[in-house]
Chains A and B, each alone.
Chain A
Amino acid sequence: MTILTARRTLLGATAGMLAAPALKAQGRFLYINSWGGTWERAARQHLFDPFTAKTGIEIRITSGVNFAKLAAQVRTGNYEYDISTLGGPSLVQAEQSNLTERPTDQTIDRGKLPSDGIFANGIGNHAYSTNLAVNTRNLPAGEVRDWRDFWNLQKYPGRRALPRSMQWTFPFALLADGVAKENIYPIDMDRAFRSLDKVKPAIASWWTQGGQAQQLLADGEVQMIGIWHANVLSAKRNGAPVELVWNQFTVDRTYWVVSRGTPRAAMAFEFIQFAVEPERMARFCIDGQYGPFDTRAFNWINEEQTKDMPTNPAYAAGAIEHEPRSIGAIMTAATRRFEAWQIQ
């Protein structure tokens, strides 16, 4: 760098520093916690960018959805993000721990939402599912149909993986043990663990991140897995030999929430109201292959586009709707018990 350019850079930097406070006063920001990957791409294109174009409010991403961070933010009053999306059971846990801002008539126009649009301080956005998926390198597609097959270590001896969080794993353990899908709730934890005892020797990993699960399946480190549907679709797009089983899958709904006490709450609700308009939700869901929460969104979705959506009526017979309150109530006990159980 010559002295001249160095001086120019220095001048530029100083000018930038002087201008920064003025810009900051004008610019309005919202911090949104992102799930990354497919979710972030779809949200940026169909929700964040159009919102910025309409309102001038810039959206900044913080990565890694982390429930503990939500709690820490409210405890310390130091906000890293204003908005997050949570699944039902976490939403219930967050409401009970008083971590989320309650939507009021001043902040949200209920008339524009479906009747069940607000639940436990969250505003419904989309549905995703947790499915059985198979790597077809060693097993022919269509061979493994349900959780009884997944639990059948004699017939299919390969390694497997399941979610570490029992909110997703318990229903599968009960189905494998012969519980009818109508009788999963309330969950019989003793029976679920007895069932898990049988599959435990074949479990290579209790995964915690969607990307981790995707890698396990795509690389063939496990032959079958309980996994979020979006990760299987993503692996398939990358050319991995994987099969998504649309039978005995659980459907979760996710909700937008605002961190309690954030100074940007009003803007946050403005964004949420914008994001859940049916047409916009439809475009977001088509791109990410999520199921729209608001059924009016289907007016903008054609049949071909619903192919991999968990809320596709064609899969309804195999779908199991989660009961967030029921599972949220036992999550703490289940996690503690799992901790002790897994190292035995």
Chain B
Amino acid sequence: MSAALTGLRPEAAHRPRTRLRAVPTWLLIAPALLYMGVVFLLPLANTAWVSFSDPMPGLHNYIEVLTTPAYLRIYRNTTLMALLVTGICIVMAYPLALYIARAGGAVGAVLLAATGLSFWISFLVRTYAWTVILGSRGPVSQVARWMGYDPPPVLLFTSAASIIGMTHILLPFMVLSIYVVLARIDPVLLRAASGLGATRGQTFRQVVLPLSMPGIISGSLLVFVFCLGFYVTPALIGSPRDLMVASLIATQIEDLLAFGTASAMAMLLLGATLLMLAVYDRALGLANLMK
């Protein structure tokens, strides 16, 4: 954006800005605020209200959720699963993002497009594809058989399948977040580092990695928060034992009509997410992401 603007003649870049200044800022963001208010804040407020009032006023929904060992275990499992997937995504996405940023040009564009391409396919379809790939007669099992593992290892309906499926769906978010930051690193800094006698490893550790931290952090936040709310993938290809909070909430509503309990569970999940963001902010500073 800034690069595009500097390319313009100064007066051309200037004119629209003066015209826009006549409109107060709040009016410009009003449509977005109104939209968020109606489709997000109101339902959220309603959920909060239901969690304290259904079927009767009080804290009983929260007490029920927080004192049921099975529910706490599901919260813990969900968090662990989300952390694991986030970690795997970082490890897998970083080299790819680095490669794309360095390759640039046509190779970079093709790889970037390939990464983004999977956003075009419904994630239900992507999840379903894994049932075929990991299935007992799918390609993975056939390769295992060919290599002498008979019967081949069971993959579908295991925790591993869940992790593979979730990683596959969330990886592009991590790649793009890291890539955007890496691509902005001034190549002059790298030349300066090597000019000052740094090895390639030192340049990476002391220059590239610290500068790309905002990308890793924003990617991790995205992936982690998405993971906390994952529902379809673990339910369709995961082990029956790794139930996620989202599935638990669905059961409360669909089978038990326990709108109060479900709302309390949702509010607790939201609370846990906000808490996580607060910890992040303390440790690393969310304001850094805006840079």
Q: Which A residues lie at the B interface, using CB under 8 A? A: 66-68, 71, 93, 97, 159, 165, 203-206, 208, 212, 215, 219-221, 331-332, 335-336, 339-340, 342-344
8 contacts between A and B (CB under 8 A): A68-B254, A159-B154, A204-B240, A331-B255, A335-B255, A339-B243, A343-B77, A343-B243
A205 to B254, CA, bound (A): 19
In the complex the two chains form, is A343's CB within 8 Å of B74's CB? yes
List chain A residues, Cβ under 8 A from B257: 67-68, 71, 93, 97
CB of B255 within 8 A of CB of A340, answer no
CA distance A220 to B157 in the complex (A): 13
Q: Which listed residue, B70, B136, B157, B256, touches A205 by the CB 8 Å rule?
A: B157
Which among A66, A215, A220 is the interface contact of B137 at CB below 8 angstroms?
A220
Q: B70 touching A340 by the CB < 8 A rule?
A: yes
Is B102 part of the contact surface with A, judged by Cβ < 8 Å? no
Residues of B within 8 A of A215 (CB): 131
Establish whether residues A67 and B156, one from each chain, have CB atoms under 8 Å apart when the complex forms: no
Residues of B within 8 A of A332 (CB): 256
* Other-chain contact of B136, A68, A97, A221, A344 (Cβ < 8 Å): A221
Q: Which residue of A lies closest to B243 (CB)?
A: A343
Residues in A whose Cβ lies below 8 Å from that of B242: 343
Query: What are the interface flags for B78-100 relative to A under an 8 Å C-beta threshold, 1 for contact and 0 otherwise?
Result: 00000000000000000000000
Least Cβ–Cβ distance between B119 and chain A, in angstroms? 25
Residue from A97, A159, A212, A336 with most neighbouring chain B CB atoms (10 Å): A336
Task: Confirm or deny: B68 has a beta carbon within 8 angstroms of a beta carbon on chain A.
Answer: yes
- B241 at interface (Cβ–Cβ under 8 A)? yes
Residue numbers in A under 8 Å from B154 (CB-CB): 159
User: Taking the complex as formed, is B14 at the interface, i.e. its CB lies under 8 A from any CB of chain A?
Assistant: no
List the 4 shortest-distance A-B pairs measured between CB atoms, nearest first: A340-B70, A204-B157, A68-B254, A68-B253
Is there an interface contact between B254 and A66, defined as CB atoms closer than 8 Å?
yes
Given A219-B137, A221-B136, CB of A342 within 8 Å of CB of B256: no
- Docked-complex contact A67 and B137, CB < 8 angstroms: no
Q: Please pick, from A204, A206, A336, the residue contacting B256 in the complex, using a CB distance under 8 A.
A: A336
Residues of B within 8 A of A (CB): 68-70, 73-74, 77, 131, 135-137, 154, 156-157, 235-236, 240-243, 248, 251, 253-257, 259
Pairwise interchain contact A343-B137, C-beta atoms closer than 8 A: no
Complexed CA–CA distance, A204 and B136 (Å)? 12
In this complex, what residue of B is CB-closest to A335? Answer: B255
Closest to A165 in B: B255
- Residues on A with C-beta less than 8 A from B235 are 208
- A219 near B135 with CB under 8 A, answer yes
Shortest beta-carbon distance, B162 to chain A, in Å? Answer: 12
- The reply to whether B70 and A204 form a contact with Cβ atoms under 8 Å apart is no
Nearest residue in A to B68 (C-beta to C-beta)?
A: A340
Given the complex of chains A and B, what is the CA–CA distance between A67 and B251 in angstroms? 11
Q: Is the CB of B135 within 8 A of A221?
A: yes
Which residue on chain B has the smallest CB distance to residue A334?
B255
Name the contact of A67 in the complex, choosing from B69, B136, B243, B254 (C-beta under 8 A): B254
**In the complex the two chains form, is A339's CB within 8 Å of B70's CB?**
yes
CB–CB B73/A204 < 8 A: no
Question: Are A205 and B240 CB-contacts (below 8 A) given A68-B254, A97-B257, A340-B70?
Answer: yes
Contact A204 B156 (CB under 8 A): yes
A240 to B136, CA, bound (A): 15
CA distance A159 to B155 in the complex (A): 12
Contacts of B131 in A (CB 8 A): 215, 219, 221
For residue B156, which residues in chain A have a CB less than 8 angstroms away from its CB? 204, 221
Q: How far, in angstroms, from A68 to B258 measured CA to CA in the complex?
A: 9
Contact status A343-B251, CB under 8 Å: no
Closest Cβ neighbor of A341 among chain B residues: B70
Q: Which residues of B contact A66 (CB under 8 A)?
A: 254
- Please, which residue of chain A has its CB at the minimum distance from the CB of B138? A219
In-complex Cβ contact of A335 among B73, B77, B236, B251 (8 A):
B251
Identify which of A67, A97, A212, A344 contacts B255 (C-beta below 8 A): A67
**CB-CB under 8 A for A343 and B70, given A204-B157, A220-B136, A220-B137:** yes
A208–B257 Cα distance when bound, in Å, is 17
- Measured between beta carbons, the chain B residues less than 8 angstroms from A68 are 253-254, 257
| Smallest CB separation, B174 vs chain A (Å) | 28
Residues from chain B with Cβ under 8 Å of A67 in the complex = 254-255, 257
Whether the Cβ atoms of B241 and A342 lie closer than 8 Å is: yes
Tell me which residues across on chain B come within 8 A of A206, comparing CB atoms. 240
Interface-central residue, A66, A220, A332, A339, by most chain B CB under 10 Å: A339
Measured between beta carbons, the chain A residues less than 8 angstroms from B68 are 340
B265 nearest CB across to chain A (Å): 12
- Closest chain A CB from B199 CB (angstroms): 49
Chain A residues in 8 Å Cβ range of B136: 219-221
CA distance A219 to B237 in the complex (A): 14
CB distance from A269 to the nearest CB of B (A): 25
Q: How far is the CA of A71 from the CA of B255 in the complex (A)?
A: 11
Chain A's closest residue to B158 (CB) is A204
Taking CB atoms, residues of chain A closer than 8 Å to B255 are 67, 165, 331, 335
Provide the bound-state CA to CA distance between A336 and B256, in Å. Answer: 8
Q: Is the CB of B73 within 8 A of A343?
A: yes
Question: Quick check: A343 and B135 within 8 Å, CB to CB?
Answer: no
Given contacts A68-B253, A221-B131, A342-B243, 18 further A-B pairs with CB under 8 A are A67-B254, A68-B254, A93-B257, A165-B255, A203-B240, A204-B240, A208-B235, A219-B135, A219-B137, A331-B255, A332-B256, A335-B251, A336-B256, A339-B248, A340-B68, A340-B70, A343-B70, A344-B70
